[in-house]
Structures are given as structure tokens and as C-alpha cells.
Structure 1
Amino acid sequence: MLKRLSGVILALLLSVNALSQVKLGKATLVGRDVSGTVEFFGGVPFAEPPLGPLRFEPPVLRTQLPPGTRNASAYGKACVPSTVVIGEPPAFSEDCLFINVYRPTGIASTAKLPVLFWVYGGGFGVGSSNKYDGKDIVSRSVERGTPIIYVNFNYRLGPLGFPQGQEADDRQALNLGVLDHIAALEWVQANIHYFGGDSGKVTIFGQSAGGILAGILFLDPQLGKLARAGIFESGVSNSDTSYAAARNEPVWKMFVEKVPSCAAIASSGHTFPCLKNVTTEEMTAAAIESAFEWNSLPWAPVIDNGPGSVFPGLSIPAHRLSVWNGERVIRSTSVLQEVCLNHHKLYHQFGVRHGSEVPYVYGQPPSTDSTGEAISTIVVDYWISFTVSLNPNDKKGAKRPEWPQFTAKNPALLRLEARNTTVIKDDYRKEPLAFLIKNAFVLRR
């Protein structure tokens, strides 16, 4: 009896394993079942490891894998951060350019499902794809009869992903993290059909720095062909980063001064050859140390106008940027440092914190929120509906208000509340905006 039972269990395991396989050209990816209705394939390289001579270089796209079987049951390592990681840190490496796919279980390669492509935030200094589990989004899409595929990836962070200063500009080494994003989308264009996806129906969504990266993509019509739509959460392409690389020369100099092997040449304008030879640990320590001395976003996309530029010259003039952003970054950074160092309690007067929507978008609201599941289901349904039809109002899934298109004649917003999700007029900021415009000359820095 035991032998017969073990044979049945083995047969079931083999059956599940067989379902969680994808032929990727001449390679076979072996993923895993994550919920009975969703399969996961992770840790798939979309570019060559940016190591050695490829450090500080644009990604080298890798759309094919060597023949044979590859274990794709886990995420790859996260990219090296440039700031302190709060909570349990994942395993880091400079060899981090991996992509991950969640899809409905057992779909055919001919299914041509829409694709929802996530770009994580983290101020361009921290973040990793393994923090964002897409299984509940995909599971919900199956449940409501509009199945989709979810994809996320890693991009380089800090000085490894966003070198600053004139030297980086001269070496065409700007916006490497943006180029990683583009390479991941190019991988999707080349390979998502193997998973049953439709490369012509890709929607990007990102939060904070991820929203900025997603927005940058649509500044270039050619790059915009990699995706047909975008959802920007708390970040757009002109957020805090609309300036030339040379403006951040002090950031690069300060960083290099913290690298013992290269400190003596920090002001030379020829730091890259030295930095290409230091250890990952030395570079990470320098980035973290210098981050505490810089009250803004030290590592971020900047305007590039040379060959292969991805963030063209659409800068907001400095005085307008001051009115646009005020002292938000400087003050919020100072407050964050004080909170972290002194462990003050946060009270309800602080309002909804930046990034609070992300667990709800992923169908994973905090267990402490008694109404969280209801609002999360509504949000996920809006996102899935938009991914499938470019309209959040497909009337499938949870009952929810129609989300009207925002126009000059009808400036309507959707206010998301668990028991009172409703459409409101976008006039609640009228007086503060009028004050800023009236006093723009005084407020400019």
C-alpha cells in the first residue's frame, strides 16, 4: 500500500513539474507552481552580467539561453543597493540582471495574453524584484475571466546604475538603470510569446522611482513601442530628475572620495578606470556612506542628449522645478533621517505614506486593515481591466464605480476608499496651486 501511495505522489509531483516548464528557444526553463492556478519562472538572465569590463557599461541584451534545462524556480540575486536596507535584506550581487514571469498554470504558448510589467521603486538606490509577488494579481485575473501575465525584473542601482557628473556623460555611461529597463522590455518582446504572452499588449506599471522610469520610456516614441500603456504610481518622468549630469558633479566627487582606492583622483575627471577595479564591497560602503551626506536623490536618471540617449532635453527650468517640487525631497529626507535615528512614533496626522498603495495593488493588503481586502480587490480589478482593454471599466470582477477619463472639461478623479470609492472633481487643490503660481518668483530657489 505504501509503495502504491508513494508512486501516486511521485506521479503527481512529476505532473506538476511538467506543467511548470517552458521551452525558451533551445533551452527549457523549469519553474514551479505557486498557487495551483499560477506558475512562476524566475532568475532568468535578460542581459550579460555587468561585471569586470561591463561595469558602468550599457547592458548587453541576452535573449537566448544555452541549450539544456535551467532551474527557474527562484528569483535571482538583487542588485547592489546604495543605501541602508530596512528589514531583512535579500542576497545582493552585481550579477543581478534577472527577469521573472508569473503566468496562469498550463496556458498554451499561443494564448497571447496581455502582460503587466512592474518597475519597482526605492529612490534609485534600493529595491529588488523579489519583494513583489505577482501571484495574486495573476490569480485574480484568472478568477475574473481576463487572464494576464505578470513580469518584473531587476535594474542596477546607485552609482552602478546611475553614474553622475561630466565624466559619466563624456563616457556615455548615464542612465544605465534606464537602459536595463529597456533591455528587460526588449527581452519581453523577444520571449514572452514562449510563455503565452502577447508582446503587443504590454502595460508598464511602476511606483515612485519605478513610475519615473516607466514615464521616461514614453518620452521617446521609438522606446514607446516596447509597451502600449503605462500606470504611474507616485512618480512621473519629470519628478526631481530633470537636469543635466554635470549638475551632480559634487555627488560623484563625494562618492569617489569615499572609495579608498580611488579617493586621490576624485577630482581628476578620470575615475572610471580606477572604479572598474575596486571590489563590490568597497563601492557599496562608499555609496552608503556618501548617501547620508546628501539630502536629495543622489542617484537618478539625468538628461542625456548624445547617441543612444533615453532621457532627452526636456528639463523643467530650475525656478519652475522649485515651485513644482518645493522642498519636498530635502525636507522629507531630513524628516526620514530623524525618524530613523530617533525612532519617533508616527501618528495619523502624517496621512497616507508614500507607497502605501502597493500592497493593495498586489492583492496583499495589511492584515491589520479590516477593510483592506475589499479595496484591494477593486484596485486590482481596475489595473487588470486596463491591462487587458486599456479601459479600467470592463464591468468584470468586483462591483465598482466607473473611472472617468480625466480631461480639461471634466477634471475628475477617483477617490479610493474601502466603503466609499467615488468620483470627485479635481478642484481641492485650486487654492494652494493658485498661491504657488502667484508667488512663483518669491518661492523659486
Structure 2
Amino acid sequence: MFFQLLATLVFSTVLIAAAPAASTVQLDGATVTGTSVGSVQQFLGIPFAQPPIGDLRFRLPQPVPAYNRSFSTTAFGPSCPQQKFVLPVLKGLPQVIVDDLINKVYSAVIPSSEDCLTINVVKPASATPSSKLPVLFWIYGGGFEFGGASTYDGSGIVARSISMGSPVIFVSINHRRVTGFGFLASKEVKNAGVGNLGLQDQRQALRWVQKYITAFGGDPTKVTIWGESSGAISVSLHMLANGGNTEGLFRAGVMQSGAPIPVGDIENGQVYYDSIVADTGCSGSADTLQCLRTAPYDTLKAAIDKTPSITSYQSLRLAWLPRADSVFLTDHPQRLVQQGKIARVLFITGKSCNCDDEGTIFSFSTLNETTESEMRDYVKNVALFGITDAQIDQLATLYPANLNQGSPFDTGPLNSLTPQFKRIAAVQGDGVFQAPRRWFLKNTSGKQDIWVYRDKRFKFLPFVGSMHGSDLVDSFFLGQELRDYIIRFTVKLDPSGTGFFDFKWPKYTTGNPNQLIFLDGLVPQIVRKDTYRQPQMDFLTQLGLQAPV
């Protein structure tokens, strides 16, 4: 959330100061007017599907009719409805005041609406319909609960690609990959075939790209999908959809802090569906799903907001996330990987390895868990619900109460907010991010080209270290190496440069598990083997395969 708020404020300031000029593109029978600043043009807030309101709520995205009326695209559209932030109860804090303040600030910075299915295209000003430039399709993160395209300014990426002599087109979207509006889950949803609507929205946007990106100078055969966190998980799931059939919608993927996670059947979300049905007054309806479609928006939103948030005590045991629905995902994602039902595309993955300390920001909800017994209770009954006493004993041995082994890693006894904070952060980071990433690589290595990295920068940040999302600084804002790697990968399907002084990023294989490491200091990049905490991650992987959420 911090990076989203900061990026949005900075981007807004840039737009105010830039005084952009007008630019146009032709879509069907419509002249679409965007903005032009220097070498970059932006077309923002273009509808790519019909608004999912009224009877289209909780239905598959419907294509927009042909554009036949000219319109302006000079501002981002609103984000899709966001989950309310609910902070864990901590002694001495005026909780209601804190929650209310955070939600008001967030809503002001990132406004939302149920009418939200829009796409943004950022292109070189020199690009024409005959340019056939590679396309970088961005999917934002946010725990399947928060986020919006307005947070991420693609103009810096396009400008950098131009200066490198490898121009690309940047595309981003707003979509229902947030909360119950996009991931309602139950037997009713499964029977209606309307699960994973947030992923279906992304798929529809990719079809829009196939149809219209040529008008902006893009090549529909050279699309790379790129995401961070839940956006990266989304990228991995597009590789598993339709039995691994990409439908020609993309040729490569970039995953920052995300891979197929251990999720089960869509009926596992029944408890949240039933809660929402009750809170909206739909319990007595013969068709509860249809009743939810007609429920007042504010009533439905309030009911969804009562479900657990990623910022609450339950944290990474998410209420809203993709699940096997027999349509988009025909089986549990990790089973599909085991069965080889995965698209044979090239990819870069940072997964949890992406950032060294993935679990720290998700462990502040556990600050009241300060003893060995409290840690065990939290892991057994919340974080890894359903594991046995023997398994919790084994986990406690693999992740001991030794501050030197906790996360932020490699910081010794420092950053220990409580005696159990670094320990819980290590378990959560490995369990949700690191272990699934390594397992994914193990099952895809040798079948497609793979490059892997881990970001160990910002270790100086108190308590969070190289926290989840910190690599976005290198992708969008301050850094340059990671952004250049992604641009080169989008253009030529190889992240390494060809210059004499360019750092060569070796491929990853199970026999030679090379991992590029980003570091603070005078030596910014090194290559090491991706073998750290192997017994711990193997154990967590087996737990996830046995009991997907």
C-alpha cells in the first residue's frame, strides 16, 4: 500500500506540471484523443468491456461494441471496488480512528467504482500502425484486495525503452481482480460458471489488445504479460488456463513475487459467500447469486468489507483469491503444473525470491503473538490451518526461535519487534512466496527458458528489510537495472544486454539453479545458486500440496 500511495501522489504531481499536448488514434469509427508529453503519448481510461453493473455484476466480462463515437482518454478510470483496510487490534491504539483515517486517505488517492473495466495504453509518439512494437501488459498487485492502474506510470518505462533503442508499448488495466467482486467463491458461483472474474477480465483485456493494439503501433504477436505479487500470481495462472493454451494472447511472462499458490476448489470460499448472502438480506432468495446481482452496491460492498482483509489478523490466509472453478482453472493450480498443463512460454520469475523478506509486512498483525505457544497457535489455527501437532513440531524445528535466522534475513538479532516476529515473518514469506516459486521452477525447468532473481536491496529499512514490493522501486521509479532487463526481455526474449559492460544474466535450470541477486552497495549484482533454506521450503511445499485453501 505504501508504494501505491507514494507512486500515485508522485505521478499526479508530474501530470500537473507537464502540460501535455493532445494526440489521437483511430479505433473503429471513433477518434480517440489522448495526451502527448515529449516522446511519449498516453491514452487512458479506454473501456475494454461493458461495465459489470446491473445484471452484468458477477458475470463474465462482455466485449464492448465497436467504437463509433469519438471520446477523450486523458485521465485514468476509477479502480474497481477495494477491500476495506482493517488493522489488527493492538493494545493502546485507537483502532477505529486509525482504520477510518487510512481508508479515507486511500479512497481519496485511489478512487473506485463498480464501473471500472478500462485499459490504458502508453506508446512512443513516433509509433504508427505499421511499427509493430512489442507490448508489455502490466497487472498490478495488491493481495487480490487492493490496487489500480493509476498507481503505475508506464511513461517512464516507454521513455527508457526509446532511449535504449528498443521501444515498447506499455498497457495496464483496471479489473475485478480485487475482493469479492472479482473472486466470489461458492458452489453457486461454480454452478453458474462465473468464478475467477478478475482473471477473466484480464483475459478479455488481452483479447482487446489483440484487436486494437496495432492502431497504437503494437504487435499483437509480441505481448509479454507482467505482474507483481497477486499480479504475478495472475500471470502464472494465465499460463495454466485452458490447459496451458494461451489462445495466442501472449508469448512471455514476467513474475515479480508470485507463482502458482496452493489453492483448492472454489467451494472452499463458501463460508464467505454465505456470510455476504446473509448480510445483504439474500438468505431467503431461491437464487442467492441473482439476489446479489440486484443488491444495492453500498450494501454489498459493506458485506464484503466485513470479510477478513490481508491487513487483518488472518493476513495471508486470504478470503479472496483465485480457486479451481472448472472453467478458467480446471484443477488446483499446482496440480495443473504437475500434470504439465502449462503454456510453453519464456518467463522471468522473481517470485518470493524476488524480495528477500517477503513476509515482514504481513506479520505486523501478529505482534501480540510473543511466546512459543502463541506462535504455534497462530501457525496451526490461522496461517497454516489444519496442520497436525507433529507437523507444527517439525516446522518449529525448521524455523527455530533464533533471531539470527528470522526475517529480515541476514540482520542478526536486529529488527526483532517481538521474540516471534522474525520467525513468523520467515514462515509466511517462505510459505506463500518463496517455496511456491521454487516448486514452480522445479516443475518447469528444462521445458522453457527461465531467468530468476532475488532482490536483497533496502536491508536498511527497520523491521521490514527487503520487503515485499520493494523491487517495484527498481521496476518503475528509481532503479534502472531491473527495468532494463524487463524491456530487453519483452523485445528479444532475453533479459541480458549485448554490450561489453552489460551484466550477463544466466538462465536457471534445476541442474544449475542460477539466481541473479540485486544488492545495495558498490557491487549491485551477483549470481548465486538458488538453494537456500531447501529443507524448510520442501516441508512448506508439501503442506501446501496436502491442504490447499
TM-score range, shorter chain: 0.7 to 0.9
- The structure 1 residue matched to 2:200, chosen from 160, 179, 183, is 179
CA RMSD in angstroms, aligned pairs only: 3.1
Query: Relative to structure 1, is the Cα distance of residues 193 and 444 closer, same or farther in structure 2, using a 3 angstrom cutoff?
Result: closer
Of 26, 47, 52, which aligns to 1:23?
26
1:206 maps to a residue whose letter is G
Query: Does the aligned pair in 2 maintain the 1:124–1:209 contact within 8 Å?
Result: yes
Question: Any conservation in 2 of the 1:378–1:400 contact (CA below 8 Å)?
Answer: no
Task: Give, in angstroms, the shift of residue 313 of structure 1.
Answer: 0.9
Contact 1:202 1:226 in 2 (8 A): yes
Q: CA deviation at 1:383?
A: 0.4
Match of 1:408 in 2: 510
Alpha carbons of 1:332 and 1:193: their partners in 2 closer, same or farther (altered >3 Å)? same
| Alignment TM-score, normalising by the size of structure 2 | 0.66
Query: In the superposition, relative to structure 1, how do residues 351 and 61 fare at CA in structure 2: closer, same or farther (>3 Å)?
Result: same
Structure 1's 256 and 114: CA in aligned 2 closer, same or farther, altered over 3 A? same
User: What residue number does 2:217 align with?
Assistant: 196
* Range with bigger deviation, 173-182 or 344-353: 344-353
Q: Give the secondary-structure state (helix, strand or coil) at the position aligned to 1:152.
A: strand
Q: How many Å separate the matches in 2 of 1:15 and 1:427?
A: 49
Gap runs ≥5 in structure 2: 1-17, 86-102, 339-351, 369-416, 422-460
- 8 A Cα contact 2:361 2:468, kept in partner: no
CA–CA distance in structure 2, aligned partners of residues 195 and 109 of structure 1: 6
The CA distance in 2 between the partners of 1:424 and 1:39, in whole Å, is 40
The match for 1:390 among 493, 516, 524 is 493
Aligned to 1:5: none
Equivalent-residue separation in structure 2 for 1:294 and 1:247 (angstroms): 20
Deviation at 1:114, TM superposition (A): 0.2
Amino acid at match of 2:251: R
Matched, 1:313 2:331: yes
Cα distance change, pair 110–436 in 1 and its aligned pair in 2 (3 A):
closer
Counterpart residue identity of residue 331, structure 2: G
- The 8 Å contact of residues 307 and 319 in structure 2, kept in 1 or not, is answered as no
**Cα distance 1:316–1:158, how it changes in 2: closer, same or farther (>3 A)?**
same
The alignment partner of 2:306 has SS state of helix
Partner of 1:214: 235
1:381 aligns with 2:484: yes
Deviation, 1:102, is 0.4
Instruction: Report the CA distance between 1:400 and its aligned residue.
Output: 3.8
Are 1:141 and 2:161 counterparts? yes
- Identity over the aligned pairs, expressed in percent? 33
Q: Offset of 1:435 from its aligned partner?
A: 6.3
TM-score, with normalisation over the residues of structure 1? Answer: 0.81
Change (3 A) 1:110 1:46: same
Q: Which amino acid aligns with 1:392?
A: P
Q: How does 1:67-216 map to 2 (within 5 A)?
A: 67=69, 69-84=70-85, 85=103, 87=106, 88-156=108-176, 157-216=178-237
Residues in 2 aligned to 1:180 and 1:95: alpha-carbon distance in whole angstroms: 13
Question: How many angstroms apart in 2 are the aligned matches of 1:223 and 1:302?
Answer: 19
Indicate the residue corresponding to 2:474 in structure 1: 360
Aligned to 2:292: 275
Q: Which amino acid aligns with 2:533?
A: R
Structure 1: gaps of 5 or more residues: 1-12, 366-375
CA distance in 1, matches of 2:302, 2:61: 24
Which residue does the alignment assign to 2:57?
55
d(CA) in 2 for partners of 1:335 and 1:110? 51
Contact kept in structure 1, 2:261 and 2:333, CA below 8 Å? no
Residue-pair matches, total: 394
Once the two structures are TM-superposed, the CA of residue 338 in structure 1 deviates from its matched residue by: 5.6
**Structure 2 counterpart SS, 1:223:** coil
The Cα of 1:62 is off from its aligned counterpart by 1.9
What are the Cα deviations for residues 260-304 of structure 1, in whole angstroms up to 9, with x where unaligned? x33x44xx7831122112222111111112225882211111102
2:128 partner amino acid: A
Give the drift of 1:255. 2.5
